[in-house]
């Protein structure tokens, strides 16, 4: 249920909020291609035109920044998106919506959240079903995202991921299913809110957020490795040879690797920061529970930092951001801990 718009572009005599919408690509804009399969095709104007209700939500400015599958997004693209969104707010937008592919949406959301310094909502959305499918979810997701972007109650919540009438915090959101329309979940605390009859209902007040990271001026290379049964860490030689600037591990349980893997980590820790996250998909890493070789007490002695509730992908983005800001190596560990402390998890 949406409020009635009056004939003069206002809502109940009030000027509609200015909402900026950028399209990056993804299933939400994919149509069948001559080569076979769906490919990004629709632009931002097409997406907006498919949802007439948007006119009642805000005065819209829509731009197509990219038209890519989300597996093709990278740091350069996301930095451009961040600058574009910041510029929109500085020009008077009261909220910003970004449409993109769902495959990497959780990473885009967290990356943008690390830097987003405005109270205005920056809302990411996409679709699990392309526009040609029965039950395509793109239009409903775009409308829900625009309503969030136009909602004063969404201010101060940082970057949101809005899909399936549910709003998720950038820090917690994960794509947890390959195809289901309710693919997005928030382990470690649950979602932030739900859309009911055109209005967002928030489950709690805005969470404390860490200070935005200092701007990136270099482009570090941070590797991500997941360990598995019988893994003795041979790939670490490749990490050293390829001269990565940092390494994030997705470890067993609360943050563990095999004894052989642990032995190989020493030289890596002397060359670059190494962070341990959990591959389980939910929960925190531990600091001082397990004492076996390759468990967290041993790994911390070797110089490994623990990721707490950040999954490996998000830990990688935070480490990237700290390195990209030029944090001196001797201050990186402190900066890592300070960020986690500045934004206590639920
Ligand atoms: N492969 C698509 C993408 O991430 C999936 C999606 O948009 O849902 O671009």
3-state SS assignment for residue 331:
helix
Please indicate, yes or no, whether residues 64 and 143 belong to a single structural domain of this protein.
Answer: yes
Atom of ligand 1 nearest to the CA of 105: 4
Ligand 1 pocket test target in 28, 70, 106 with most atoms within 8 Å of CB: 70
pLDDT of residue 207: 86
pLDDT at 344: 59
Residue pair 120/155 in contact (Cβ under 8 Å)? The answer is yes
Nearest residue (by CA) to ligand 1, atom 3, is 101
Do 164 and 254 have their domain in common? no
If asked whether residues 120 and 257 sit together in one domain, one would say no
Q: Report residue 87 CA to chain centroid gap.
A: 20
Q: Which atom of ligand 1 is nearest to the CA of 72?
A: 9
- Number of domains the chain contains: 2
What dihedral angle (degrees, nearest 10) is formed by the CA atoms of 255, 256, 261, 265?
40
Q: Whose CA is nearest to atom 8 of ligand 1?
A: 102
Q: Which atom of ligand 1 is nearest to the CA of 69?
A: 9
Contact between 116 and 319 under an 8 Å Cβ cutoff? The reply is no
Active site residues: 27
If asked whether residues 286 and 171 sit together in one domain, one would say: no
User: What's the 115 CA to ligand 1 centre distance in angstroms?
Assistant: 24
CB atoms within 10 A of CB 139: 18
Residue 266 lies in a domain: yes
Residue whose Cα lies nearest atom 4 of ligand 1: it is: 101
Range of the domain at 149: 14-202
User: 70 alpha carbon to ligand 1 midpoint, in Å?
Assistant: 6
For position 102, what pLDDT does the model report?
Answer: 98
CATH of the domain at 228: 3.40.50.40
Last residue of a domain, which of 202, 234, 258?
Answer: 202
Last residue of a domain, one of 150, 169, 202: 202
**Does the CA dihedral 73-77-82-88 come out positive or negative?**
negative
Pair 138, 253 in one domain: no
How many A from CA of 161 to the centre of ligand 1? 14
Substitution candidate for ligand 1 out of 25, 105, 126, 163 with most atoms within 8 A of CB: 126
Segment 43-82, tens digit of pLDDT: 999 999 999 999 999 999 999 999 999 999 999 999 999 9
Residue 208: the pLDDT is 84
The predicted structure's pLDDT at residue 345: 58
The residues of the chain scoring below 70 in pLDDT are: 1-14, 344-346
Q: Ligand 1 pocket by C-beta < 6 Å: which residues?
A: 26-27, 69-70, 101-103, 126, 128
Closest CA to 270 of 236, 311, 232, 294: 236
User: Per-residue pLDDT tens for 218-254?
Assistant: 999 999 999 999 999 999 999 999 999 999 999 999 9
**pLDDT score for 341:** 87
Look at residue 182 in the predicted model and tell me its pLDDT.
Answer: 97
Distance 335 CA to ligand 1 centre (A): 33
| Confidence (pLDDT) at 13 | 53
CATH number for the domain spanning 97: value is 3.40.50.1170
Q: Does 277 fall in a domain?
A: yes
- With b meaning 16 or more CB within 10 Å and e meaning fewer, what string describes 230-244? ebebeebeebeeeeb
DSSP state of 172: T
Tracing tokens 């600058």 back to the chain, one arrives at 83
Q: Which atom of ligand 1 is nearest to the CA of 126?
A: 7
DSSP string, 73-100: --HHHHHHHHHHHHHHHHTT-SEEEEE-
186 and 297: one domain? Answer: no
259: helix, strand or coil? helix
d(CA 102, ligand 1 centre) in Å: 5
């Amino acid at each position: 249920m949406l409020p009635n718009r009056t004939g003069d572009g206002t809502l109940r005599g009030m000027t509609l909020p200015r909402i900026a919408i950028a399209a990056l690509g993804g299933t939400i804009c994919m149509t069948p291609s001559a080569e076979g399969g769906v490919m990004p095709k629709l632009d931002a104007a097409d997406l907006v035109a498919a949802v007439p209700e948007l006119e009642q939500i805000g005065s819209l400015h829509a731009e197509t920044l990219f038209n890519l599958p989300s597996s093709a997004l990278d740091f350069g693209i996301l930095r451009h998106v961040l600058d574009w969104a910041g510029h929109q707010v500085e020009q008077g937008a009261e909220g910003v919506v970004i449409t993109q592919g769902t495959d990497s949406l959780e990473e885009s959301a967290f990356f943008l959240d690390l830097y987003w310094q405005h109270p205005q909502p920056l809302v990411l959305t996409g679709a699990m079903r392309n526009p040609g499918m029965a039950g395509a979810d793109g239009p409903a997701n775009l409308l829900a995202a625009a309503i969030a972007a136009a909602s004063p109650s969404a201010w101060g919540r940082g970057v949101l991921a809005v899909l399936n009438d549910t709003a998720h915090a950038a820090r917690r959101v994960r794509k947890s299913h390959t195809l289901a329309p309710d693919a997005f979940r928030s382990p470690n605390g649950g979602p932030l809110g739900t859309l009911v009859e055109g209005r967002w209902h928030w489950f709690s007040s805005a969470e404390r957020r860490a200070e935005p990271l200092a701007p990136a001026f270099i482009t570090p290379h941070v590797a991500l490795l997941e360990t598995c049964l019988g893994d003795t860490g041979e790939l670490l030689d490749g990490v050293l040879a390829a001269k990565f600037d940092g390494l994030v591990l997705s470890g067993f349980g609360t943050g563990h690797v095999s004894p052989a893997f642990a032995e190989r980590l020493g030289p890596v820790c002397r060359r670059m920061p190494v962070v341990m996250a959990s591959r389980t998909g939910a929960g925190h890493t531990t600091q001082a529970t397990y004492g076996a070789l390759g468990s967290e007490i041993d790994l911390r002695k070797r110089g490994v930092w623990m990721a707490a509730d950040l999954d490996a992908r998000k830990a990688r983005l935070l480490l990237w951001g700290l390195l990209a800001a030029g944090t001196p190596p001797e201050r990186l560990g402190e900066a890592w801990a300070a960020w986690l402390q500045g934004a206590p998890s639920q």
